[in-house]
């Protein structure tokens, strides 16, 4: 498709150049036919390029929307996993008696869950309002205490 677009652009430039350099031969009928042919060539290529541009723009908008929906779905899935996983991790630590600071770990897990929920909510708001730019959050890891 890009090759077609490049060809149309070259043809448009050729038609513009031919129109610019057009010199009447003195035969009104022949000159008019030649001028109409050049105008038609220019109009055809201009329409093709305009349609190509509009199609590319529409596809870009659609791709952006699909990407936003994918990110929303992914983040909601990750949030659901996080919500289910963290109490399980606390229960496993408690069951296996991994350390004596399970309450501290549970508090840290709860704080992390709150941060994840806040980050997901912020991301959803940004995705719902395309005027906002997405900002990458600073990485923060959970500390096992």
Segment 13-29, tens digit of pLDDT: 999 898 888 888 888 89
- pLDDT of 94-126, one tens digit each? 888 877 788 888 888 888 888 888 888 888 888
Assigned token pair, 30:
């022949």
**What pLDDT score was predicted for residue 144?**
42
Assigned token pair, 81:
């996993």
CB atoms within 10 A of CB 109: 20
CB atoms within 10 A of CB 15: 20
Rounded Cα gap, residues 79 and 85, in angstroms: 10
Confidence bin at 36 (pLDDT 50/70/90): very high
- pLDDT of 131-143, one tens digit each? 655 455 555 544 4
| Residue 135 buriedness (CB in 10 A; 0-12 / 13-18 / 19+) | exposed
For the chain, give every domain's residue range: 2-128
Determine contact, residues 38/19, Cβ cutoff 8 Å: yes
**What pLDDT score was predicted for residue 72?**
87
State the residue for tokens 């992914």. 74
CB-based contacts of 79, cutoff 8 Å, min separation 6: 116, 117, 120
pTM of the model: 0.57
Rounded Cα gap, residues 23 and 4, in angstroms: 30
What is the arithmetic mean of pLDDT over 126-132?
Answer: 71
Assigned token pair, 31:
């000159």
- pLDDT of 50-101, one tens digit each? 998 899 999 999 998 899 889 889 888 988 888 888 888 888 888 888 777 8
**What pLDDT score was predicted for residue 142?**
46
């Amino acid at each position: 498709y890009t090759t077609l677009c490049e060809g149309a652009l070259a043809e448009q430039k050729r038609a513009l150049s031919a129109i610019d350099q057009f010199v009447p031969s003195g035969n009104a009928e022949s000159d008019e036919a030649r001028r109409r042919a050049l105008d038609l060539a220019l109009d055809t290529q201009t329409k093709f390029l305009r349609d190509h541009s509009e199609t590319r723009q529409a596809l870009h908008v659609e791709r952006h929307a699909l990407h936003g929906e994918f990110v929303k779905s992914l983040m909601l899935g990750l949030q659901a996993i996080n919500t289910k996983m963290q109490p399980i991790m606390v229960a496993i630590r408690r069951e296996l008696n991994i350390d004596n600071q399970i309450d501290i770990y549970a508090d840290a897990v709860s704080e992390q869950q709150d941060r994840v929920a806040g980050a997901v909510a912020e991301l959803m708001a940004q995705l719902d309002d395309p005027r906002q730019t997405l900002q990458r959050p600073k990485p923060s890891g959970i500390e096992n205490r």
